[in-house]
Amino acid sequence: MTGQFIPAAARRWKRIPQEAQGKILANVWCGNCRDSVQIVLETAEIESKVLILKGKCKTCGKDVCRVVEPEN
Ligand SMILES: [Zn+2]
């Protein structure tokens, strides 16, 4: 699942507990569905220490992304 993550993003993602990962992936806003949806994760990158998860809405297939703020 982390195959297409850039290495820094993969490292950051692995530090997030699995339970929290699940909650993140299940709670992504889709503008098309106008609802929180499950993301089908495709890639992840890091920009200004913010982890950006990118993929498709599991419901409608539209591109969605989820930003994970830096840890303290
Ligand atoms: Zn959708």
Instruction: Using the mean position of ligand 1's atoms as its centre, give its distance from the Cα of residue 38 in Å.
Output: 9
Per-residue pLDDT of the chain (72 residues; tens, 9 = 90+): 555 899 999 999 999 999 999 999 999 999 999 999 999 999 999 999 999 999 999 999 999 999 999 876
Check the CA dihedral 11-16-29-50 and report its sign.
negative
pTM for the full predicted model: 0.88
What is the domain partition of the chain in residue ranges?
7-68
Strand locations in 1-72, DSSP E? 28-30, 35-37, 39-47, 50-57, 63-68
Instruction: Using the mean position of ligand 1's atoms as its centre, give its distance from the Cα of residue 9 in Å.
Output: 24
Instruction: Using the mean position of ligand 1's atoms as its centre, give its distance from the Cα of residue 72 in Å.
Output: 31
pLDDT of res. 72: 60
Instruction: Using the mean position of ligand 1's atoms as its centre, give its distance from the Cα of residue 37 in Å.
Output: 7
